[in-house]
Chain A
Amino acid sequence: MAKTNDVQSHLPLTPAMFQILLALADGEKHGYAILKEVALRTDDKVRLSAGTLYGNLARLESSGLIVESQKRPETRFDDERRRYYRLTEFGREVAVAEANRMDEALGQARAKKLFRKPRLA
């Protein structure tokens, strides 16, 4: 897939993609760590399986939002078979744009008083 640097063309992200980018926001991680982090952070609301995780990683990688990291943690923590992923600058821009988009939507919902408590009939 051709890498498109136009941030907008990647929006909106799927929830799984957004969560993966978020998981990588504070440093590189391997697949299982991403999966665990997402589950923990969302209180098990977003659950990734091996299939969806790597399908999304492949897609994010081919669009240049993440890259496989060449740097490895110290050898005693490292496992040869594991691949680590890191957010690219472009990936960060896309994640920010997605967060802004959601923020904007949230603001509009507030302005419309969407969240007021339902009155009892």
Chain B
Amino acid sequence: MPESKKSLSQRAFRGLLKILPFDFRANFGGEMERVFDEQKRDVEKRGGIVDFARLWWEALTGIFRTAPREHWEILKHDCAYATRMLQKSPWFSITAILTLALGIGANTAIFSVVNSVLLRPLPYPQSQQLIFIREQALKVGADHVPFSVPEIMDYRERNHTLADLAEYHGMAFTLFGHGDPDRIRSGVVSANYFDMFGIRPMLGRTFITADDQPGAPPVLVLSYDYWKNSLGSDPQIVGKTFEMNDKVHTVVGVLPPVPQYPDKVDMYMPTSACPFRSSKMHIEDRDMRMMEVFGRLKPGVTMEQSRADMAAIAGHLQAEYPKSYPENLGFTADASPLQLELTHSARPTLLILLAAAVFVLLIACANVANLTLSRMARRERELSVRTALGAGRSRLLRQLLTESAILAFGGGALGLVFAYESLHLLTQFASRLTPRAHEIRIDAGVLLFALAAAIGTSLIFGTISALFARANLSTGLKEGSSGAGSGLRRNRMRSALIVSQIAFSFMLLIGAGLLIRSLMKMQEVNPGFVPQRVLAMKINFNWAKYKGDDPFADVAKKVLDAVQAEPGVLSAAISSGYPLEAEMITGGPNSNTFQVQGRPMQSGEAPPIASVASASPDYFKTLGIPLLAGRTFADTDDAKAQQVLIVSEHLKKSLWPNSDAVGQRVTFDQGEHWSTIVGVVGDVREFGLDHAPENEMYAPIAQTSNVGTILLRTSMDPAGAMRRMREVIHGVDSQTAITQEMTIGQARLKSLESPRLTATLLGLFAGLALLIAAAGIGGIMALAVSQRVHEIGIRMALGAKRENILGMILGQGTTLAMLGIAIGALGALALTAMIKSLLFQVTPTDPMTFLVVAVVLAATALVASYVPARRAARIDPVEALRGE
């Protein structure tokens, strides 16, 4: 019956049959249509609408019940067949699975980090409501100014958008009663802190309002890590006591593992237990800013509404307290989602690594597609014979897709193992970028991602190979296994795949190259000091013991004298911190605004700012920081003497470009106290090798008592020196906690760890890509040679020399490489702007990197084509022609 004469029912039934597998339809489709027709005719004879509905209902359910079963049968059959075929070519199977495993593994590993850090909500109830609030002095470039106690009170009372607001500041205290005096890091928080986040304690309780009242008995809540690592997961810890700050503190609870921000701390105490925070001065002085503030939005309030709310409060405060918020600072307040705050520094690096991993997977796909195409050339006869024997074309395509799916799932499973194995390393890496690193794990989302990667992969390379099989099936039998027309077309496809592999490898290599160049520049950059043989030890006196006007000056001097008297100590100093200290790098410079005597501020003009450090007289000598003008500090620059300062070259140049800085006077408190500049020293990269020098000032340690570090230049070996210094320091005061010892060289290396790891990971991906691409080029050239034995034989018979043949094959390999490099270079030019934020003194289009990468890639292509080219050159023309 012609299609046009068929009834609507018949056409609908035929359409319904399409959900059955092709083979089944081909076999029984006609019969089924006929049976349906006859059933319909019976129904029409009887003429009931109910019968007609019943006929359709049964037809529908019958086909929907049969279709899945038939598809399943075919899948089982195809899998069995595919497994047999893959077992027949084990090298192909192993190479394909390994290549895909590397690609999928790299993606899954990086995605598990991206998923845990960037995608999953923070582990708190309604975490999207949590925000981080900061004050800002925009005109002097300070975008993160902490809060003072009166300010916190104001923001708590005046806001309209927050359900709750909690404060935090980090403090280091010395803990007694558990072996050596231990310096612990403590978070000082308002009583509502944990309730606001919605953190339930793992043991005991968190803080209640009564804990925060003046004079309340001091209590502690321990962090999970401290409880686990330093207290051996003691289940009876609640109720035990610690002595700290001359007071006995009782542990009331232990936290579950939660991300800690802005610092990772060992324990928490309420504000009333912190001797600084609970002092009258801190509670009353609007300008003593050291607290961080977190908030929870009221339900239904948007981020934008809250930001406007905070800015409005800042505006009102500025009007009410003009002295605390000078107009020329550009004072305001802003808020951002807490999740963003916890992850923003990790985001660019992680996204770049994910993009790199996707590139590796694409290269792996292209490579496996190429392998499959080469294999297809050998299987052409088998496939053609099957077609001739009646296998439908789509049936064969289905078979090929099943084979690619088996390879991809094999690769995916192995890739998952790779990802799992690398998780520990990645967690360590990520912990340098975000406090969420410990949340990294392989969860359902990651498994789904790996599954999607495997399915996507099998679709990409399976479709490529299936499409070309389809084009060739009809010609395979007629033209023999190396059919010229289809072969050409397939070779073009293979060449395109190779070119794309090289292009993607080029982009990856450029990314890695730029990061490595940055790293090299960072290593070469002059830090402004001589790090060799300098030791830094972080020390903390038990401050509770040294009360009075001049708490530390005396003991600090004693310690310094004792250290200096040691044989092998060339020079020693005491300071607030040391260059490239981890906390200096994460915290950045402290911004103090000041005024210069005789230089009145114009209204609206931003005051100069500088980071201020404390140093004892030999600080500059010990670190090898050059004195450029004036003098360094002397022992006479003590608390009773005139206040003095030494400034950095950068500050000198920005404030007194054409005159002397020495002798100038500056004030930090609107003229209440004046300090005289007595010297100018060289610039130091204190806050990271990639952090350009800023305005810096040094004050004598005897005038600030900001004691934190002992520095010494020594001729001893560092480990022995550290042991000895411990004894010397404890000899002066046994209650001194020594919390960190390292050489400045180690600190310098450590500061480069994060860029080094990023460069290493990207380099690893790029190396992987290069390897896969090289194998691809080698493979396709070998195949091309084997297909052209006859032609090469003729050329040689006609007088072509071996060198010509060698040159011809090498030339073809190099042409592909050049094309790939050209396309890759265009891609790289477009993409490298993405990694700009990770680069240091290298432009994203650095010609040197592009040149080196191009040469490396071209050389790799040349080497990879050399083996097949040599084989081509050794072809015996007589043998080749006889072989035909």
Contact = CB atoms under 8 A, between A and B. Distances in A.
Contacts of B59: 49-51
A51 B31 contact: no
B35 to A, nearest CB: 5
A5 interface: no
Given A1-B73, A55-B65, A55-B69, A50 B32 contact: yes
Given A49-B58, A50-B59, A81-B30, A31 B35 contact: yes
Nearest to B57: A49
Interface string B33-67: 11110110000000000000000001101111111
Chain B interface mostly helix, strand, loop or mixed?
helix
B27 interface: yes
Contacts of B727: none
Contact of A49 (B20, B28, B63, B73): B63
Nearest to A47: B58
B32 A54 contact: yes
A119 B224 CA distance: 71
Contacts of A52: 62, 65-66
Contacts of A54: 24, 28, 31-32, 35, 66
Contact of A55 (B31, B36, B38, B66): B66
Contact of B31 (A47, A49, A81): A81
A53 interface: yes
Given A49-B63, A52-B62, A55-B70, A35 B35 contact: yes
Nearest to B16: A51
B32 A51 contact: yes
A53 B59 CA distance: 10
B28 A58 contact: yes
Interface in A39-54: 47-54
A105 to B, nearest CB: 26
Contacts of A82: 31, 34
Q: Which residue of B20, B62, B67 has the most chain A CB atoms within 10 A of its CB atom?
A: B62
A57 interface: yes
B38 A51 contact: no
Contact of B24 (A1, A32, A58): A58
Nearest to A61: B27
Contact of A31 (B13, B20, B31, B65): B31
A35 B24 CA distance: 19
A83 interface: yes
Contacts of A50: 13, 32-33, 35-36, 39, 59, 62-63
Contacts of A30: 31
Interface string B1-44: 00000000000010000001000100110111111101100000
A55 B28 CA distance: 9
B27 A58 contact: yes
A50 B38 CA distance: 10
Nearest to A62: B73
A92 to B, nearest CB: 23
A32 B35 contact: yes
Contact of B63 (A48, A51, A58): A51
Nearest to B33: A50
Nearest to B27: A58
B28 A57 contact: yes
B61 A49 contact: yes
A51 B65 CA distance: 8
A49 to B, nearest CB: 3
Nearest to B61: A49
A16 B417 CA distance: 47
A49 B62 contact: yes
Contacts of A58: 24, 27-28, 70
Contacts of B61: 49, 51
Nearest to B19: A51
Contacts of B27: 58
Q: Which residue of A1, A32, A47, A50 has the most chain B CB atoms within 10 A of its CB atom?
A: A50
Contacts of A49: 58-59, 61-63
A54 B820 CA distance: 54
Nearest to B76: A1
A42 B36 CA distance: 20
A31 B69 CA distance: 20
Interface string B748-776: 00000000000000000000000000000
A10 to B, nearest CB: 16
Contacts of B31: 30-31, 54, 81-83
A61 to B, nearest CB: 10
Q: Which residue of A35, A52, A54 has the most chain B CB atoms within 10 A of its CB atom?
A: A54
Nearest to A51: B62
B392 to A, nearest CB: 16
A86 B714 CA distance: 101
B6 to A, nearest CB: 15
B35 A53 contact: yes
Interface string A74-114: 00000001110000000000000000000000000000000
Contacts of B58: 47, 49
Given A54-B28, A58-B24, A58-B27, A32 B62 contact: no
A2 B24 CA distance: 18
A45 to B, nearest CB: 13
B852 to A, nearest CB: 60
B34 A32 contact: yes
Contact of B34 (A1, A55, A57, A81): A81
Contacts of B35: 31-32, 35, 50, 53-54
Contact of B38 (A1, A32, A48): A32
B184 to A, nearest CB: 71
A82 B61 CA distance: 24
A70 to B, nearest CB: 16
Contacts of A51: 20, 32, 59, 61-67
A14 to B, nearest CB: 11
A56 to B, nearest CB: 8
B568 to A, nearest CB: 85
A37 B59 CA distance: 18
12 contacts: A30-B31, A32-B34, A49-B59, A49-B61, A50-B62, A51-B59, A52-B66, A53-B32, A54-B24, A54-B66, A55-B62, A81-B34
- Top 3 closest A-B pairs, CB basis? A51-B62, A49-B62, A55-B66
Given A35-B35, A54-B32, A55-B69, 18 more contacts: A31-B31, A32-B35, A32-B39, A49-B59, A49-B62, A49-B63, A50-B36, A50-B63, A51-B59, A52-B62, A52-B66, A54-B35, A55-B62, A55-B66, A55-B70, A58-B70, A81-B31, A81-B34
Interface of A: 1, 30-32, 35, 47-55, 57-58, 81-83
